[in-house]
Structure 1
């Protein structure tokens, strides 16, 4: 119960911090993130990169998407699984992809099963988060969608997606209270820093 209370408090505080960033600060952050993301993600033709569309003050990945497309990489966005309702599917995303709002009023691609990429076949996944620590621990919004989806990646898979958290620097905390189901990240990228962690 204490763990839940701590996580609720952190979420409330961090969501307030990032939502209070000005448009100028958000734009500057997006451009700086693009530079740092390009230091970690080595894009080749047909490199598969999962991402997200910003919501609730999350950092904007638009400049990073433009950069990836310019290098012939392929981007994918999460869709809430239409049957399980608790996992994510990743669907190919382009600038003109048809979109719709999901149950959280977040835009996602209109489901097209022929454009889905199995999560284990993505090369990189850029994930939003509410808070992080330097050990690669991530605190999300509380729905568990990313953790459940990442948990489906087979342990014996030789080449796994590289998991990258994306955040504003103000979202860092000294140590996150961790739950057993939390999946740690390989990198965390902010406009100011690149954290390389070990799983």
Structure 2
């Protein structure tokens, strides 16, 4: 996957500056560029075995220029795939629930301005799924490299919620998604990082070596 921003991106050791740079890159895209990127992304996702075989998938609703995976929803529902959304877990520091996203799911804005299932709905255990029971998670990111390493927003929500994957046992496939302009030459890997199987962008797919 070619990327024009390797030479202009700040060094990966300065994470705060790099995050700011990459968030600016994606927010600078026009609405038309965003829509085209979303369609190309979803065309790529439909070919992945981790997506095609999944019966329970989590994805996200985009904000702040994140690439939009929601054109995939109609295709997933046609295939009778159960769809879940990440929800900020109450009374817990930086952890997520994964809550059923159906046509009638009541939605609210959370403290970050992200639309999510409301708390009364999410708090009912039958409306959510243990993270390990998901087949595939489609996760947002700020930056990625050619080895599918991920730079998140810095809050650690996904890393904390997926920490169980460092131990043996059932676990979902993790697919990062991003605009191609969010690729950098390399990213440092931290001990708490939960590895992705792949990162898919509007220009292609990179897999962990």
> Same-fold call, TM > 0.5?
yes
How far did 1:152 drift?
2.4
**Are residue 90 (structure 1) and residue 90 (structure 2) matched?**
no
Cα distance change, pair 125–117 in 1 and its aligned pair in 2 (3 A) = same
Q: Assess if the C-alpha contact under 8 Å between 1:136 and 1:185 holds in 2.
A: yes
State the 1:62 CA deviation: 1.6
Alignment of 1:30-109 (within 5 A): 30-40=38-48, 41-43=51-53, 47-109=55-117
Which stretches in structure 1 are left out of the alignment for 5+ residues? none
Q: Distance in 2 between matches of 1:94 and 1:61?
A: 16
C-alpha distance in structure 1 between counterparts of 2:68 and 2:12, whole Å: 28
What is the alpha-carbon distance in structure 2 between the residues aligned to residue 96 and residue 32 of structure 1? 28
CA RMSD of aligned residues (A): 1.7
> What corresponds to 2:140 in structure 1?
128
Does residue 181 of structure 1 match 2:192?
yes
Q: 1:154 to 1:17 in 2, by over 3 A?
A: closer
What residue number does 1:29 align with?
Answer: 37
C-alpha distance in structure 1 between counterparts of 2:42 and 2:102, whole Å: 17
* Pairwise CA distance, 1:95: 3.0
Of residues 10-19 and 172-181 in structure 1, the stretch that sits farther from structure 2 once superposed is 172-181
Please state how far the C-alpha of 1:114 moved relative to its aligned partner.
1.6
TM-score normalised per structure 2 = 0.87
Question: How far 1:156 moved relative to its partner?
Answer: 1.7
In the alignment, structure 2 segments of 5+ residues that lack a partner are 1-10
1:156 has 2:164 as partner: no
How far 1:167 sits from its partner (Å)?
A: 0.2
For 2:87 and 2:21, locate their aligned partners in 1 and report how far apart those are by CA, in whole Å. Answer: 27
